Structure 1
Amino acid sequence: MRITRRTLLALPAGVALAAGTSTPAHAAAPRPAIFVHGSAGSAMQFRVQAKRLASNGYPAQIIEAHEYDSPNIVAILAEVYAGLDARIDRLLAASGADRVDLLAHSLGTFVTQGYLNSSPARAARVAHYVNLDGRPAAALPGGVPTLAIWGEGDPARTVAGATNVHFPDQSHTQTVSSAESFTAIHRFLRGGDPRTTEVCPTRVAHVSGRAVLFPSNAGVTEARLEIYRVHPATGRRLGDRPAARAAVGAGGAFGPVPLDPHTRYEFALLRDGQSTHHFYFEPFRRSDSFVRLLTSRPGEGLGALVDTSDRHTALTIQRQKEWWGGEGDHLWINGQDILNPATAPHNRRVIGIFAFDDGSDGVTDLTAPLPEFIAQTFISGVDLFIPASARGTVEVTAQERGAGRTRLSVPAWPSSGHRVSLEFG
């Protein structure tokens, strides 16, 4: 069955996408939902969908992500399968559910299809599978009822026997995070329309997650986390005392920490002998267990390629929807739009951008991306001089194609002692 965005939106409420579903699944409690990310990914790609599921009656504790070291997936595949077995065991025991639902994106569909096809016993514990813009298949993986969601690209891609939904105007990661995808997923898993595709606010947001090394998802060790309330216009701390302190435990886990859903916060990751890594988010409107603080060790990873000095600020900016330079997306840093067809080309599927003064020469050059960064999956880098200042502010404003603008201003921390990451959306 092939469904496009137009036909999806035209389907009457309550029409189930799952073949053989005769009664809306709303009558039963939701099953545990497990997300398996793609290459260089993490739980972050599913953050908004997890909160949408919770806004539609899912207990937050039955929504999880199964993370792994994607660059080494071939060598560790058996280990990843065994970990997924254990996760399913735990969730079934805790929830009392008969089976779980699996959702996977990109490389994660290779992992999940292989898992379902590896053993009838494994497939028997999965009620539904959602294949997000990833691997086609000649048959239902493990015989499990499947929804396959496809974005831009070859319209002939299908999972045979599945419900195949096509959003030809959506980019690769956007198919994971969009409201349209959520509607299709909810109909498939629950047999009817969601009550809302919004993230509904709560009085208190209980926030938890992991501090991890990018892209391996290995947990950060020997770290401390301080959380500060910040001014919405400047990102500067409102007082010297943190609103909360959280231990970073096994696997980099922290929280849950109760936060005000109307307040902006800075998460400061502290490690002895290393630069402080500051993370800034939009307000946490409801509880969120999929927060990931993506970092690296000194001298390792992409962070080692970032030039630093007392004179300039270095930023890493991401969102879970591709930046298309010259096609309606804009990203202004202190009034300078850093997106163009060269720095964020459509075909590179850029969701993360490093912005810093390459060579520490005080000169900006946005005519081309930094080659070491654009060569990485989903990453770009730009040579932008952002002056550092003890009392200065860096204004970062994102214009999303087809939507409005969002600003996340942050202090102008000197890159010699501080790393700064911003997450939009």
Structure 2
Amino acid sequence: MPRRRELLAATTTTLLLAACATPTSPRMQEMPPIVFVHGNGDSASIWQSTLWRFESNGWPRERLHAIDVPYPLAREDDARAQPGRTSTAEHMAFLRDEVQKVLQATGARQVVLVANSRGGYAVRNYIQNGGGDRVVSHAILGGTPNHGVWSLPDYLPGSEFNGTGPFLKALNAPKNTAGDEVAGPVKWMTIRSDSNDKFAQPDGVWIGRRGQPTNVTFAGPELKGATNVVIPRIDHRETSFSPAAFEAMHRFITGRAPSAAITPEALVSLSGKITGLGVSSTDPASGSFSNNLPLPGARLEVFAIDPATGGRRGAPVHVQTVGADGRWGPFRADGRERYEFVVTAPGYATTHVYRSPFPRSTALLNLRPERIAETDKAAPALAILNRPRGYLDPTRDRMAFDGQTPPPGALPGAGVSSSRLRPAGAPRTIAAEFNGERVVGRTWPVAENRVTVLELTY
């Protein structure tokens, strides 16, 4: 039977640490390499704060590796090619190659795999079918819809997200007489929400079928044979990127309790990649889609700004045009300073990105310019609030966007991670607040093909 821990008390963290203790975990000083696998449509950058927490607990930076799948979106039918999307086989092969690179670079015999959402499918596939059982010691899956986002034979039957489809049926087939769903000698853990994960819902509201049963329960991410951890009220992304999820991961790997605090560094170096948006060559009218391909020739300017107004404090402190690999930096930053990142590229709007200060170095500060939709081109300005590592839930969170509470588009049930405004008036200060984090920027005229993005870090 799976070792299930229901963590429903106010002292969630304390109970979580006790629940995840594993006496056979490696000693803390061994510090195994960890490979982080992002989810559907995401990029390596989403692991930034998680890596900071591991580093703050003594993990060497060179033993923390977040992969960047070039085409991170799943196909609608896994058996049919679809431009700009990956099959389950391609996803697994990419992960296998990345793990081999990490093993060669570190000299380690085994790695730990930590995955969010769809990334857990690649982890399971690799361990079960790609030889990963020989080189993976621990596998941690946050919010992975292990029994499907839906389990309906009449709705996208070939999708990897369909619990009745061939991919998940094969992964979930019993591996032993006990009926365990996990493969190999690997130690497995799943992390899920009690009821607040949009992709583990009995009702089809989040797949556009409100009122129709999905045949999936809140416990859909659990796996028989794994340590299954439940954290109250976290959302789909917080199953991997929240402090409580980090504490569960760390304790499972090491058997020891960590601190979830991020320790500031004296010297901060920032770098990352500038990526673009793809358009289907077979159906350009279908719109653009996310990818993690570099955007050669994109130009980046970085400005130090006033934390109260978002106004610039002089000339740019870093200017760079990226090459074929899309990489920018390193830029020596002040960990207490606030910055505006301005990305310019042909075919895109000039995108002004504002973030909270960076307490530690990162090579995962990835940037993507926006495009302005036809419906927004008559607006005086366009401002976007993004929370990449979680959702905006007005029944749970304290938040505001340009003084509006809740932000436009935020829905109960932790199902929306961004908000858009068309601010009126001359270019001016605009702010976003979320559970104590405050990001300040400036609006810019749409008539000049400019967009403001306020991005939350935590």
Q: Relative to structure 1, is the Cα distance of residues 122 and 243 closer, same or farther in structure 2, using a 3 angstrom cutoff?
A: same
Q: Secondary structure in 2 aligned to 1:161?
A: coil
Match of 1:90 among 101, 107, 113: 101
Deviation of 1:99 (Å): 1.2
The residue aligned with 1:383 is none
Question: What is the TM-score when the length of structure 2 is the normalising length?
Answer: 0.75
Deviation of 1:15 (Å): 8.4
Match of 1:166 among 230, 237, 240: 230
Q: Distance in 2 between matches of 1:277 and 1:256?
A: 20
Is residue 321 of structure 2 the alignment partner of residue 284 of structure 1? no
Q: What does residue range 82-161 of structure 1 map to in structure 2 within 5 Å? A: 82-119=93-130, 121-136=131-146, 137=172, 138-153=180-195, 154-157=217-220, 158-161=222-225
Deviation of 1:294 (Å): 2.8
Q: Relative to structure 1, is the Cα distance of residues 145 and 399 closer, same or farther in structure 2, using a 3 angstrom cutoff?
A: same
Q: Relative to structure 1, is the Cα distance of residues 305 and 124 closer, same or farther in structure 2, using a 3 angstrom cutoff?
A: farther
The residue aligned with 2:431 is 396
Deviation of 1:415 (Å): 1.6
Is residue 24 of structure 2 the alignment partner of residue 20 of structure 1? yes
Gaps of 5+ in 1: 357-385
Deviation of 1:348 (Å): 5.9
The letter for the 1-side match of 2:27 is A
Q: Relative to structure 1, is the Cα distance of residues 92 and 317 closer, same or farther in structure 2, using a 3 angstrom cutoff?
A: same
The letter for the 2-side match of 1:109 is G
The answer (yes or no) to whether the contact 1:247–1:255 under 8 Å persists in 2 is no
The residue aligned with 1:422 is 454
Question: What is the TM-score when the length of structure 1 is the normalising length?
Answer: 0.81
The residue aligned with 1:70 is 72
Is residue 252 of structure 2 the alignment partner of residue 188 of structure 1? yes
Q: Secondary structure in 1 aligned to 2:236?
A: coil
The letter for the 2-side match of 1:395 is I
The residue aligned with 1:236 is 311
Deviation of 1:423 (Å): 1.1
The answer (yes or no) to whether the contact 1:15–1:192 under 8 Å persists in 2 is no
Query: What is the CA deviation profile of residues 305-335 of structure 1, one whole-angstrom value per residue up to 9, with x for unaligned ones?
Result: 55124x62211211122101344432231x2
Aligned-pair Cα RMSD in Å: 2.5
Q: Relative to structure 1, is the Cα distance of residues 126 and 306 closer, same or farther in structure 2, using a 3 angstrom cutoff?
A: farther
The answer (yes or no) to whether the contact 1:316–1:421 under 8 Å persists in 2 is yes
Q: What does residue range 319-330 of structure 1 map to in structure 2 within 5 Å? A: 319=387, 320-330=389-399
Q: Secondary structure in 1 aligned to 2:341?
A: strand
Deviation of 1:228 (Å): 1.0
Q: Distance in 1 between matches of 2:136 and 2:36?
A: 13
The residue aligned with 1:37 is 38
- Name which of structure 1's ranges 179-188 and 92-101 shifts more when overlaid on structure 2: 92-101
Q: Distance in 2 between matches of 1:94 and 1:249?
A: 25
Q: Secondary structure in 2 aligned to 1:175?
A: helix
- Name which of structure 1's ranges 223-232 and 128-137 shifts more when overlaid on structure 2: 128-137
Is residue 4 of structure 2 the alignment partner of residue 2 of structure 1? yes
Q: Relative to structure 1, is the Cα distance of residues 207 and 171 closer, same or farther in structure 2, using a 3 angstrom cutoff?
A: same
Identity of aligned residues (%): 27
The answer (yes or no) to whether the contact 1:45–1:176 under 8 Å persists in 2 is no
The answer (yes or no) to whether the contact 1:43–1:291 under 8 Å persists in 2 is no
Deviation of 1:208 (Å): 1.6
